[in-house]
Amino acid sequence: MPDLKKINAEIADGVVGGYKKIESSVVGAFQNVEDKFVGRFLVHEGETVEDAKARLAAEQAAREEQAKALSDILYDFMRYINEYSSFCIAWWQRSTGNQRWL
């Protein structure tokens, strides 16, 4: 009777090898399309594709940093509004003797 472990290992190696070939083909094709797109539409005059990719990555990082800063400012503002509205409600309740909200 054949050794099942050896047969299973050969099958696994074949499947993994096939997957790796497909993966490298797909990734290579995507990188080729990406390079062509960047070269056609996003490269500034006198700039290489690699320089354009680096510039685009830096611009994206700056946008993300800017969005994070804005998000932090908005969060702080909303927290301040929440605290201020709680203060106003408490003041109104004390000044009118009314213990329920409008």
3-state SS assignment for residue 86: helix
pTM of the predicted model as reported, rounded to 2 decimal places: 0.61
**Nearest 5°: CA angle at 29, between 52 and 17?**
130
Checking if the pLDDT of 102 tops 60, the result is no
Checking if the pLDDT of 13 tops 90, the result is yes
- Give residue-wise pLDDT tens across range 78-99: 999 999 998 888 888 888 887 6
Checking if the pLDDT of 101 tops 80, the result is no
Checking if the pLDDT of 77 tops 90, the result is yes
| Domain limits, the chain | 4-96
What pLDDT sits at residue 61?
Answer: 98
- What is the spatial distance between Cα 74 and Cα 67, in angstroms, rounded to a whole number? 10
For residues 86-99, b (16+ Cβ closer than 10 Å) or e, as one string? eeeeeeeeeeeeee
Checking if the pLDDT of 2 tops 90, the result is no
- Give residue-wise pLDDT tens across range 17-70: 999 999 999 999 999 999 999 999 999 999 999 999 999 999 999 999 999 999
Which residues lie below 8 Å from residue 55, measured CB to CB, with a gap of 6+? 44, 47
